[in-house]
Structure formats: structure tokens, C-alpha cells
């Protein structure tokens, strides 16, 4: 079917006219609503902008400015946010459908003013920022620390806590005041460090090791540098032997050392370092044979010493200090940051009397503990040893009044772990106490192997305990009074049982194995009852009451 091109062009023109007329109607309608809206703004503001002499406010530009204002990011509380949002204007575009609502008759649309402040009351950026920054914060439960309050370091807090704990244990009048002071200092430290990164603390390396021996931190000087240089460099050859074959020097600087240098090296050296050097030589010798002939032939090379550098000595000192610090932190007998985990009965200046934290071997079982962390009582000074003997005297008299004997035992093993030494006091009936020396003598003679480098049984009754035993070797010692006793040097620490003395006591008193082998730990809450019961007998003989301040 053919179509007329003229009629088609008419239809196209007619459709274009319809679209244009609809667009004009829509624009006229929009202008009409815009005039009504401007009129309502003018009426609400008290007149037209032209009558008041002010410039006409452009709503579209105000909306754009309001939506693109970049406020500063200021941390505020929830109360401040509520106040700032209530003062901040909120506008809606004229094109939003929320501006237009149906009238009551439902036939005509009416313009309704949105609930927002007038354009003349728009808060600018500076006022909004001032409102946010000056809002009051919600008070926290913990007040912030004042600027004048000093912040204590962790070491100072620990010392203050230890001081408060000691005051509480001694029932001093300022105990509560010290506790309040510690709590305030702790809160100030926590608040100050809440937003601060963790700091690095510097530890001061002591000049003495855990056994009280000085470190030679000076190490090798420039004179000794050639002996500690890298092995990649070719070492200088030196004459160590003369024509006859006798050794004349070990290092090239031996002729330059003074007498003071030699004495210092001798005093700072120890038996342990000598043994370790010999062991290193043996390990490095692949042809070594455990034969006297071989050792005699190679005695010169085996006895060769190696001089450590300052860095090696410093590294050894740091590792030893770490072990000592760990031993102090895990010790249950020390008074560092908290009271001991054992029930303290009497406190002297350097030694205190306590009850064990495990099941007692016999009724009245107690401990004599040095206040200072030491591996054996041989490391204690004379004043500490005098206090130990005072406790021994009083305990002997106390149990003698009940027709009982008492023995004292000390077991020192694993010196490298730096355990806190204690002297155990175990009472027993008098008739059994008379037979105890024979039991201990037999037990000591049967301990260890058939052959030993040291004398198995050392009778300390003649020369005394402190002159018969040495602190460098692990040992076991038992006292049957103040002076009479037996000592034994422990050569095989791994095979020597920790309960050696208790096992012999159990054999004398016929006790079950669960008392001496793996005793059960007691509840710390019962320490008060145990101490009060022990004090009924001990109060009469407590020599610490004669000390000043008690």
C-alpha cells in the first residue's frame, strides 16, 4: 500500500508541535510554582528582598554550598553531635516530591513549606566548627590525669607496690595511704599510656654476675685485636717456643702485659671458664682419645687458651643477666614485686622463717629462707649466716620443749638455673632423731656410683659447714644440731633426686611416698590459719621481736 509523502510530513510536524507545546506547558507550570515558592519565602522573611534593600537569595546556590561544605574532622562526644545537628540547617531540593503534598479535598496539589530554617539563618562554616569544638564532653568514670601529676615508670610503680605490700604485711599505720598512692599512680600511668606507643626501656647491665663475680667487660684492647680478628685474614706467625722446645708465650702481646693486667685476668677468670675452654679444645679435636697417653702427648694443645673479645664477653653477660632476671621473676621466695608465695612466720633483716606451700613431711615442718636471692647459703654473708643460726637455735629449743628432735637439710642442685636456696627444718620424735645420723650416713654412702672424684661423706663437725663445703659445686648437707652434720658433693646432678633428704626422713619415720616424693600443694587461703597455729608455739622463742621497730 503506497503512502502519501505529504501526509507523512504533516504527521511528523504535528507530533513535533505536540511535544513542543507539552514542554512549554511544563516550563510555565514550573515557573508558576517557582513564583509561589519565592513569594512564600518573602512573606516569611517579612517582605520582599527588593523592598528591604537586600539582594535576592539564590536557593539553588545555597543548597549547593551546603552540600559541598567540608567540615574539619573533630572528635566530639555524642552530646556534642546532638547539639551540632540541631543547629545545622537541612534543605530539600524543589524537585523533591516531599515538597508537594495533596490538599484536603484531594483534587488540587498545594505547596507545603518544609520544616527548615529560613535561608537568612543559615549557619556558616566557621560557626558550625565553633559549635562542634566547644561542646561539652561526656565525663568518663576515670578522670584524666592533671598536668602537674608526675607519671611513674614501671620500675617505680613496682617499687611503690612492693613498699605498700611490705607495709600491709608489717601492719604499719601508713599502709592504706601507700596503697591509695599506688592506685592513683597506676591510674595516671594507664591513662597517659592509653594513646601512646610502647616505649623502649634500657636495662643497665650489672658489673657482677649472678654468683657475685665481676665481669671483664673491657675485653680485649687494641693489643689483643690480632687474636680476635676474622679468620679470613692471615694471622701473624709468632714464636711460642724457644730452641729447646719450651713454651715462652701464648700470644704476641704476652710480653707487653703488665703484672696488673695478669692479676686482673686471673681474678676475673673462673674455674668454669677454664673447664669450658678445655671442653672446647676437646670438641674441636677430631682425633681425641680418652687415653692418658694421648692427653700427655697433646697436653700443650689441649691447655691452649683462647682470649675472648669484648663483644663475646658482653654477650655472655647479657645472657647471664637474662637468666638471672627470669629466675627472680619466677621465684616464690623473693620479695621483689609481691610478697612470697609461702606463709611467712617471722621476718628478720636478711633471713625469714616460713611454712612450705606443700604438704608438710611432719607436723611443724618449716623453712629458713634468705631474703636475698642466692643459690646456696655459702653465698650469704656473715650477717645472714648469723640470722640463720639464730633461727636454728630457737627452733631447736622450741621442739626440745615438746620432747622432739629436729634436723636441717639443704639441697643445692642445678646451679645454672639459679634457684633460691632454702634450709628445711623437719622435727621428729627424740628417739628417732637419735637414729637419724646412721640413716643419713648409709644413704649418702650408697648414693652415686662406686667411683667418685670427691669424698662421698664429708663430716662437717670438725671444721664447720662453711669451711668444709664449696659454693661452686652442687651439694647436699644435713645438720643434726648447730655444728654436727654430714655433707655430700653431687657429681651427677641429673640422677640425683631432689627429695633425697626427705626420702631418708620418710624411712626413719615410716611415712608414705606421697608425703616426700610429689607432695600436694596447699591452698594459699589457708596460710593465715597455719601461721596462727604455728605462732602459738613460736611466739615464745621468736628472736625477731628484739629487732628495732618490732
CA dist 478 and 484 (Å) reads: 9
Cβ 379 vs Cβ 212: under 8 Å? yes
Q: What is the pLDDT of residue 103?
A: 43
CA dist 446 and 437 (Å) reads: 14
Write the pLDDT tens digit of every residue in 463-495: 999 999 999 899 999 999 998 999 999 988 888
On the question of pLDDT at 281 being above 80, the answer is no
On the question of pLDDT at 100 being above 50, the answer is no
Cβ 426 vs Cβ 363: under 8 Å? no
Write the pLDDT tens digit of every residue in 425-437: 999 999 999 999 9
Cβ 219 vs Cβ 311: under 8 Å? yes
Residue whose cell numbers read 515538597: 99
CA dist 171 and 163 (Å) reads: 12
Closest alpha carbon to 181 in 166, 162, 158, 160:
160
Closest alpha carbon to 163 in 180, 151, 175, 149:
175
Write the pLDDT tens digit of every residue in 409-462: 999 999 888 899 999 999 999 999 999 999 999 999 998 777 788 889 999 998
Which of the residue ranges 61-75, 242-256, 503-517, 531-545 would you say has the lowest mean pLDDT? Answer: 61-75
Instruction: Provide the grid cell at 126.
Output: 566557621
**Three-state SS for 219?**
coil
More confident residue, 351 or 194: 351
pTM: 0.55
Beta-bridged to residue 320, according to DSSP, are none
Residue whose cell numbers read 549547593: 64
Closest alpha carbon to 255 in 270, 238, 272:
238
On the question of pLDDT at 170 being above 80, the answer is yes
Tell me 202's DSSP state: P
Q: What is the pLDDT of residue 90?
A: 44
Q: Which uninterrupted H or E stretch holds 187?
A: helix 175-192
Q: What is the pLDDT of residue 16?
A: 60
Per-residue pLDDT band at 141 (split at 50, 70, 90):
very low
**Three-state SS for 490?**
coil
More confident residue, 329 or 276: 329
Which of the residue ranges 311-320, 367-376, 508-517 would you say has the lowest mean pLDDT? Answer: 311-320
Write the pLDDT tens digit of every residue in 394-409: 999 999 999 999 999 9
**How far is the first Cα of the chain from the last one, in angstroms, to the nearest whole number?**
130
With a pLDDT cut of 70, the percent of the chain lying above it is 60
Q: What is the pLDDT of residue 157?
A: 85
| CB-based burial label for 505 (10 Å; 0-12, 13-18, 19+) | buried
For 122, what's the count of Cα atoms within 13 Å in the CB-facing half-sphere?
17
With a pLDDT cut of 90, the percent of the chain lying above it is 31
More confident residue, 258 or 94: 258
Most confident among 3-17, 174-188, 206-220, 374-388 (mean pLDDT): 374-388
Most confident among 100-109, 253-262, 269-278, 394-403 (mean pLDDT): 394-403
Q: Where would I find the beta strands (DSSP E) of 77-201? A: 100-102, 109-111
Cβ 179 vs Cβ 169: under 8 Å? no
Q: In the predicted model, what is the mean pLDDT of residues 540-545?
A: 93
On the question of pLDDT at 291 being above 60, the answer is yes
| Record: fold of 333-546 | HIT family, subunit A (3.30.428)
Per-residue pLDDT band at 264 (split at 50, 70, 90):
confident
Cβ 531 vs Cβ 345: under 8 Å? yes
More confident residue, 99 or 321: 321
CA dist 347 and 170 (Å) reads: 9
On the question of pLDDT at 203 being above 60, the answer is yes
Instruction: Provide the grid cell at 447.
Output: 648414693
Tell me 51's DSSP state: T
CA dist 312 and 302 (Å) reads: 21
- Mean of per-residue pLDDT scores for the chain: 74
Cβ 405 vs Cβ 478: under 8 Å? no
Amino acid at each position: 500500500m503506497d503512502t502519501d509523502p505529504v501526509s507523512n510530513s504533516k504527521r511528523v510536524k504535528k507530533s513535533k508541535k505536540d511535544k513542543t507545546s507539552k514542554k512549554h506547558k511544563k516550563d510555565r507550570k514550573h515557573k508558576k510554582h517557582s513564583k509561589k515558592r519565592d513569594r512564600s519565602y518573602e512573606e516569611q522573611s517579612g517582605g520582599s528582598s527588593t523592598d528591604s534593600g537586600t539582594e535576592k537569595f539564590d536557593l539553588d546556590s545555597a543548597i549547593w554550598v551546603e552540600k559541598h561544605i567540608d567540615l574539619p574532622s573533630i572528635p566530639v562526644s555524642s552530646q556534642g553531635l546532638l547539639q551540632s545537628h540541631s543547629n545545622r540547617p537541612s534543605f530539600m531540593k524543589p524537585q523533591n516530591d516531599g515538597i508537594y503534598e495533596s490538599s484536603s479535598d484531594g483534587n488540587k496539589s498545594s505547596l507545603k513549606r518544609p520544616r527548615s530554617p529560613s535561608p537568612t539563618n543559615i549557619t556558616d562554616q566557621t560557626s558550625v566548627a565553633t559549635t562542634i569544638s566547644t561542646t561539652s564532653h561526656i565525663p568518663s568514670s576515670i578522670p584524666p590525669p592533671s598536668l602537674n601529676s608526675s607519671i611513674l615508670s614501671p620500675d617505680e610503680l613496682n617499687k611503690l607496690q612492693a613498699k605498700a605490700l611490705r607495709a600491709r604485711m608489717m601492719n604499719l599505720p601508713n599502709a592504706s595511704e601507700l596503697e591509695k598512692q599506688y592506685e592513683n599512680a597506676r591510674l595516671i600511668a594507664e591513662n597517659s599510656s592509653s594513646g601512646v606507643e610502647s616505649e623502649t626501656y634500657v636495662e643497665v647491665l650489672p658489673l657482677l654476675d649472678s654468683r657475685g663475680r665481676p665481669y671483664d667487660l673491657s675485653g680485649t684492647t687494641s693489643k689483643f685485636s690480632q687474636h680476635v680478628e676474622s679468620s679470613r685474614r692471615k694471622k701473624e706467625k709468632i714464636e711460642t717456643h724457644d730452641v729447646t722446645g719450651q713454651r715462652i708465650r701464648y700470644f704476641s702481646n704476652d710480653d707487653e702485659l703488665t703484672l696488673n693486667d695478669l692479676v686482673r685476668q686471673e681474678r676475673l677468670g673462673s674455674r668454669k671458664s677454664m673447664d669450658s675452654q678445655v671442653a672446647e679444645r676437646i670438641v674441636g679435636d677430631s682425633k681425641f682419645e680418652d687415653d692418658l697417653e694421648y692427653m700427655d702427648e697433646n697436653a700443650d694443645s689441649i691447655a691452649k687458651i683462647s682470649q675472648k673479645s669484648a663483644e663475646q664477653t658482653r654477650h655472655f653477660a647479657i645472657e647471664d643477666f637474662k637468666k638471672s632476671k627470669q629466675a627472680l621473676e619466677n621465684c616464690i621466695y623473693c620479695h621483689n614485686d609481691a610478697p612470697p608465695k609461702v606463709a611467712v612466720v617471722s621476718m628478720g633483716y636478711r633471713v625469714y622463717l616460713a611454712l612450705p606451700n606443700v604438704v608438710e613431711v611432719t607436723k611443724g615442718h618449716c623453712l629458713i629462707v634468705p631474703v636475698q636471692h642466692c643459690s646456696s647459703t655459702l653465698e650469704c654473708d656473715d650477717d645472714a649466716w648469723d640470722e640463720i643460726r639464730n633461727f636454728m637455735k630457737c627452733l631447736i629449743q622450741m621442739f626440745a620443749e615438746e620432747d622432739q628432735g629436729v634436723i636441717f637439710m639443704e639441697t643445692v642442685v642445678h646451679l645454672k638455673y639459679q634457684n633460691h636456696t632454702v634450709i628445711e627444718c623437719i622435727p621428729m620424735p627424740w628417739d628417732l632423731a637419735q637414729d637419724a645420723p646412721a640413716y643419713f650416713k648409709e644413704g649418702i654412702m650408697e648414693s652415686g656410683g662406686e667411683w667418685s672424684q670427691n669424698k662421698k661423706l664429708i663430716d662437717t663437725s670438725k671444721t664447720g659447714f662453711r669451711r668444709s663445703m664449696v659454693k661452686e659445686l652442687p651439694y647436699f648437707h644435713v645438720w643434726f644440731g648447730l655444728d654436727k652434720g654430714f655433707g655430700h658433693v653431687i657429681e651427677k646432678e641429673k640422677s640425683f633426686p631432689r627429695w633425697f633428704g626427705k626420702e631418708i626422713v620418710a624411712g626413719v619415720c615410716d611415712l608414705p611416698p606421697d608425703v616426700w616424693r610429689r607432695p600436694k600443694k596447699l591452698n594459699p587461703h589457708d596460710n593465715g590459719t597455719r601461721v596462727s597455729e604455728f605462732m602459738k608455739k613460736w611466739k615464745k622463742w621468736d628472736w625477731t621481736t628484739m629487732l628495732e621497730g618490732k
